[in-house]
Amino acid sequence: MTVAFIGNPNCGKTTLFNAYTGANLKVANWPGVTVEKVEGAIDSHGVHIHLVDLPGTYSLTSYTMEEQVSRNFILSDDVDVIIDVVDASALERNLYLTLQLLELGRPVVVALNMMDIVEKRGMEIDLHRLPEMLGVPVIPVSALKRRGLSVLLHAAIHHKDHVHPDRLIHNHSDETHHKHNHHQDFAMVYSDGLEDKIDQLQNMLKSAYPDLFNYRWHALKLLEQDPEITKKFPLEGIERVVDRSYETDIINQKYSFIEEIIQEVVVNQAKRAAATDYADHILTNRWLSIPIFLFVMGVVFFLTFFIGDMLRDYFESAIDILSVYATDGLLSLGADEMLISLVCDGIIAGVGGILTFLPNICILFVTLAVLEDSGYMSRVAFIMNDIMNHLGLSGRAFIPMILGFGCSVPAIMASRALENKTDRYRTMLVTPFMSCSARLPIYILFSGMFFPEHAMVVAYSMYLIGIVVALICLLLLNLFHRQQADNALLIELPEYKRPSSRTVMISVKEKVKDYLSRAGTIIFAASILMWFILNFGPSGYGDMAHSFGAILGRGLVPFFAPIGLGYWQISLALLAGISAKEVVVSSFAVLFDGVNINSTTALATLAASMGQMGFTELNAYCMMLFSLLYIPCAATIATIHAESHSWKWTALSVVFQIAVAWVLTFIVYQTGSRLF
């Protein structure tokens, strides 16, 4: 049996899915996070149930990719029961989708989620009257508190073969005016004029397409002039019935019915929590919002550096000890010098070097997850709405960009939630400029070496530059090819809430797992490869200055010299960094003879030897800047290709990123070297 969860964005579908399956999918207190359907399975009440988590959607039109994914899936024969997840604290908005789902003619069970919030606020919902009016079971649950979960599945199993209720009871006040006596058959009954047209269209559909399973729904879609259905089911003489689009009439009448339901079933209208209103008054204030955002990000970095550094000492000693033991162990086994060098100077230096940044990365993940789950991140998208509109984009385009602080891959995927294709492509193009967590080790290493007093400020400046460069690129694109922003599309602001430790832990665990698996695979492989090309050359083993790596790096020097990075070691590290940005740092560890790049003394030596090469603060800053902006990592490039289905576009965006990175670093280096 297959059960699909569908509902508005942010109503708790993923939380519910996780609660059932024990999966650890990303939950966030802002819309547009789940963009692909996710599947899992459980056994319950003696039935094997296949669960599907769908992207959130407000309606079943086919305007965005998310809506298409959801709609096509629930229309297919694969689904046995639809569980409509409804945020009970925002019933009015959520019921619009519910009414559309009821019209599909598939078994629907309503999961009235967030009941804990409803109760806390003293709101009451008539759980007897609501199912009576909708004609489907309504089960109160709380996905977060894990209440009502078993009853919900039980209802779904029970309701599977029971689409049409015996008789619906929703006496409208003016029932007598209807000449159609549909109130017993359908929850949603339209005005006589529309019902006449629906009847006519149903008859036409029945003779033209005898095998269709749901005539009423198709008739309604034809009345709305839904592009997909109109094209798929052409009817002769349809223009006599559908002389215009009746979409607005249908929407308005649905909303009137919703109003009627709310009047009858909601006993104490919940107010938006006063605290949320008060907080929004300040946090989304016209003048304060952006300074507050900058301040919040500043705090994030302060914590990332301050607490992260305190924890890092332990990691550092652990790596040191490991390296000593490995050398001793290998020596006692009689291993030769080359193998010891591979293990210690290659693998432990490279992979271990990356692992020592784990505390900082962890803190960054925790603070970002807390911000997301508290509801603050959706405010950020909201306050950027004005700026984004000026750049010709909808404010929603900023959401993928903020996700980019974590990792560009899911961020680029989240651009699917944008309605308009130009918006999507522009967002995909600039999202990699947002400084992802893999770049953090580069900042920590270089700012630690060259700006020990101001490491945090320097790293923070990278994040700001990332945002500013992305915005400027959008501005230029819009000057080049002007587009009117669809600013009617408002971002919904969820309520602030105390972040759930479970949700934060899931998010952090997944990201840390990701980071570790990169350390164990790509970075591991890159470290070994690096060791090989640095220790072997045309003249054999040993001489790094004449190794294959050095030759390759020297070949790249002319490209990097004008931007202050004309050192073969740096060129080589940046080239290797295309596999994953952390590799820039792990390569450094291998390059400079397996130093523990996180120990303070080693850093000082490394900085000194780089200083002898003529590498100054300015070069270090250029290094960070270029690392921030140049080609996204291999995984991101693959994602851009998967999302755009075009190698041409993928190549174009890679070239674009290099060009932007090179030009900007060039300006900084040339200006800087004249000034200082």
- Annotated binding site for Mg(2+), which residues? 18-19, 21-22
The number of residues that bind Mg ion (CB under 5 A) is 2
In the list 34, 367, 415, 437, the residue contacting Mg ion (rule: CB under 5 A) is 34
Q: How far is the CB of 36 from ligand GDP (least distance, A)?
A: 12
Question: Which of these ranges, 141-149, 310-318, 450-458, 543-551, lies near ligand GDP under the rule CB under 6 A?
Answer: 141-149
The angle formed by the CA atoms of residues 442, 446 and 449, to the nearest 5 degrees, is 145
Paired strand residues for 48 = 43
Q: How far is the CB of 494 from ligand GDP (least distance, A)?
A: 7
In the list 2, 4, 6, 14, the residue contacting ligand GDP (rule: CB under 6 A) is 14
Cβ atoms of 10 and 494 closer than 8 Å: yes
The item of ligand GDP, Mg ion, none sharing an interface with residue 308, based on CB under 5 to 8 Å by kind, is none
Q: How far is the CB of 13 from ligand GDP (least distance, A)?
A: 4
Q: How far is the CB of 110 from Mg ion (least distance, A)?
A: 18
Beta strand pairing status for 536-537 and 540-541? antiparallel
Please list the alpha-helical segments (H only) found in 183-237: 192-208, 215-223, 227-232
When the beta carbons of 14 and 89 are compared against Mg ion, the nearer one is 14
Distance CA 91, CA 86 (A): 7
The item of Mg ion, ligand GDP, none sharing an interface with residue 144, based on CB under 5 to 8 Å by kind, is ligand GDP
Distance CA 569, CA 266 (A): 68
Q: Does the footprint of ligand GDP cover residue 9 (CB under 6 A)?
A: yes
Please list the alpha-helical segments (H only) found in 358-454: 358-374, 376-383, 385-390, 398-403, 408-414, 421-430, 440-450
Cβ atoms of 596 and 353 closer than 8 Å: yes
Question: Which of these ranges, 8-16, 216-224, 389-397, 533-541, lies near ligand GDP under the rule CB under 6 A?
Answer: 8-16
Q: Does the footprint of ligand GDP cover residue 117 (CB under 6 A)?
A: yes
453-459: long-range contacts (C-beta < 8 A, 24 or more apart)?
455/305, 456/301, 456/302, 456/305, 456/306, 458/621, 458/624, 459/301, 459/304, 459/305
Paired strand residues for 42 = 49
Q: CB under 8 Å to 630, separation ≥6 — which residues?
A: 574, 657, 658, 661, 662
The item of Mg ion, ligand GDP, none sharing an interface with residue 350, based on CB under 5 to 8 Å by kind, is none
When the beta carbons of 34 and 650 are compared against Mg ion, the nearer one is 34
User: Site residues for ligand GDP, window 21-40 (CB under 6 A)?
Assistant: 27-29, 33-34
The item of ligand GDP, Mg ion, none sharing an interface with residue 529, based on CB under 5 to 8 Å by kind, is none
Give me the 72-111 binding string for ligand GDP, x by CB under 6 A, dash otherwise: ----------------------------------------
User: Site residues for ligand GDP, window 501-540 (CB under 6 A)?
Assistant: 503
Q: How far is the CB of 13 from Mg ion (least distance, A)?
A: 5
The angle formed by the CA atoms of residues 224, 419 and 661, to the nearest 5 degrees, is 170
Cα dihedral: 166, 169, 172, 177 (round 10): 40
Q: How far is the CB of 273 from Mg ion (least distance, A)?
A: 22
Q: Does the footprint of Mg ion cover residue 14 (CB under 5 A)?
A: yes
Paired strand residues for 138 = 110
The item of ligand GDP, Mg ion, none sharing an interface with residue 459, based on CB under 5 to 8 Å by kind, is none
Distance CA 676, CA 656 (A): 30
In the list 113, 289, 356, 447, the residue contacting ligand GDP (rule: CB under 6 A) is 113
Q: Does the footprint of ligand GDP cover residue 144 (CB under 6 A)?
A: yes
The angle formed by the CA atoms of residues 186, 188 and 194, to the nearest 5 degrees, is 105
Q: How far apart are the first and last CA of the chain?
A: 70
Cβ atoms of 412 and 399 closer than 8 Å: no
The item of Mg ion, ligand GDP, none sharing an interface with residue 89, based on CB under 5 to 8 Å by kind, is none
Residue list for the binding site:
7-14, 18-19, 21-22, 32-36, 53-56, 113-116
Nearest CA-CA partner of 431 in 389, 403, 395, 390: 403
Give me the 358-377 binding string for ligand GDP, x by CB under 6 A, dash otherwise: ---------------x----
User: Site residues for ligand GDP, window 467-506 (CB under 6 A)?
Assistant: 500, 503
User: Site residues for ligand GDP, window 41-70 (CB under 6 A)?
Assistant: 56
623 residue type, one letter = M
The number of residues that bind ligand GDP (CB under 6 A) is 24
Question: Which of these ranges, 11-19, 42-50, 330-338, 583-591, lies near ligand GDP under the rule CB under 6 A?
Answer: 11-19
The angle formed by the CA atoms of residues 432, 479 and 377, to the nearest 5 degrees, is 40
In degrees and rounded to multiples of 5, residue 74 shows phi and psi of -75, -20
When the beta carbons of 72 and 646 are compared against Mg ion, the nearer one is 72
Distance CA 494, CA 207 (A): 47
Distances (CA, A) of 53 to 16, 250, 370: 9, 28, 23
Q: How far is the CB of 402 from ligand GDP (least distance, A)?
A: 15
The item of ligand GDP, Mg ion, none sharing an interface with residue 12, based on CB under 5 to 8 Å by kind, is ligand GDP
The item of Mg ion, ligand GDP, none sharing an interface with residue 197, based on CB under 5 to 8 Å by kind, is none
Q: How far is the CB of 435 from ligand GDP (least distance, A)?
A: 24
Question: Which of these ranges, 30-38, 102-110, 113-121, 408-416, lies near Mg ion under the rule CB under 5 A?
Answer: 30-38
Residue list for the binding site for GTP:
7-14, 32-36, 53-56, 113-116
**Given the rule CB under 6 A, which residues bind ligand GDP?**
7, 9-15, 27-29, 33-34, 56, 113-114, 116-117, 142-144, 373, 500, 503
**Given the rule CB under 5 A, which residues bind Mg ion?**
14, 34
